[in-house]
Structure 1
């Protein structure tokens, strides 16, 4: 067995990330970035460093599960959710459930919570629950704390900022309790093949699958299809797509903003 394969085995055992689900070039790039920061010369040296330094486990996990996001990333997508998807669901049911998969540090589920809070103010008989999941417990802790810097909030206007956030003296902003109460965070591995629930009304999984193999992307498409109710919505990243093998599972709703609906 070569040293890179041996290192991957240790990553899967220690960090619980299945390397074979990611493109090999991506895994190597992220490990090389940690090698530069730890001054290790090759995969063998980094492997020894990883085994000898438990604190490196979390640092490598963070490197492999890149978490770059902000509130209302791709604002046009959220406009479709605000103007079309949520009102449509509110017309059809009183209890709406949304799964934000790969939620990272919480910016996306809290963005959805802002829209949900605004809709529930107009439809007081409607309740919305947002299930937000990620494999990385470190980012989930940050998400539950709900504290963000101003740059992350650049797409949040002043009215929403005052209404939904508490300004701290250090320049950060904390999500108010009325939004936190709408979001249920939990650890979940998308590679498990098990959805967090069934008969969900919408799933968002944006900018997550771009690092996965084609097989894993297709498996995830089946997973989300099984999790959604009839006519449920599936929102993917602007650069993502469904492979030909699974595109029959969904029909385009808004092709430009990459919003799909579960096929009958």
Structure 2
């Protein structure tokens, strides 16, 4: 790939998604964008980038950004954050919010929806403890394509086997041929919206809990700081932020503080 082509596409991806693509990730561009080039009837990446440079190619630039955004996810991914939610954050918030009986939870970079729906199932499993409570789960992602799949809530056998207990599969899903679809009571608990974390989040309102896991690892230091400080603006002063196991706020921002006995959980500083 010509240096000027690499500079163009890597710069566009950073501007639109925060994704950092170095020269060592050329293979990633090839593997993810070659299928898109073929669907467009283009011989390869050189021709694809030439098309992207045209002023009228906004849809193509959006498709390229979607293709390059990592959408790895699964039900109950890494399990520990959901245990922390169930045994620590949620009981604390239920006590604090007992007067208004309302909670708002945000699953940022929700991809195809498994994280948001895991939270919905976790709440459903609490049964009578949440009777009379208004629970609002918002799932957002940059990609409209993955959000369409999240809203459809239909998953392959492989996808439901990754982390989802068989008891919950039987209880909350119905089989549709070779796929499994979440039942309406769980689907109705989650509202999905298109949202770019780089653009600020004030339009989404204030949240009691934010899950923003395995997202910051793809950003440079300055973008991490900006995103974290934007998240602080929409998190309640006594709320909780959940990050991925390889992520931290230390050395990036002083707007959050880690909770020593709860790895991956952060509170506003």
- Whether TM exceeds 0.5 here: the answer is yes
Q: Could you tell which deviates more after superposition, 157-166 or 108-117?
A: 157-166
Q: Does 1:152 align with 2:159?
A: yes
Aligned-residue offset at 1:140: 0.4
In the alignment, the residues of structure 2 paired with residue 102 and residue 96 of structure 1 have an alpha-carbon distance, to the nearest angstrom, of 20
Encode CA deviations 1:45-82: one digit per residue, 9 max, x unaligned: 44135569999656533331111111000012211111
Alignment RMSD (CA, Å): 2.9
Q: Does 1:80 align with 2:77?
A: no
Aligned-residue offset at 1:171: 2.4
TM-score norm. by structure 1 comes to: 0.85
- Structure 1 residue ranges without an equivalent (≥5): none
Q: Could you tell which deviates more after superposition, 45-54 or 187-196?
A: 45-54
Aligned-residue offset at 1:187: 0.6
In the alignment, the residues of structure 2 paired with residue 20 and residue 141 of structure 1 have an alpha-carbon distance, to the nearest angstrom, of 19
Counterpart of 1:47? 49
Cα distance 1:156–1:242, how it changes in 2: closer, same or farther (>3 A)?
Answer: same
| Of 85, 91, 96, the match for 2:103 | 96
TM-score norm. by structure 2 comes to: 0.83
Aligned-residue offset at 1:128: 1.2
Number of paired residues?
256
Encode CA deviations 1:4-45: one digit per residue, 9 max, x unaligned: 334457x57xxxx72583323187453232465558898644
Cα distance 1:103–1:34, how it changes in 2: closer, same or farther (>3 A)?
Answer: closer
In the alignment, the residues of structure 1 paired with residue 138 and residue 188 of structure 2 have an alpha-carbon distance, to the nearest angstrom, of 11
Q: How does 1:151-230 map to 2 (within 5 A)?
A: 151-154=158-161, 155-168=163-176, 170-230=177-237
Alpha carbons 1:199, 1:228 under 8 Å: kept: yes
In the alignment, the residues of structure 2 paired with residue 140 and residue 65 of structure 1 have an alpha-carbon distance, to the nearest angstrom, of 13
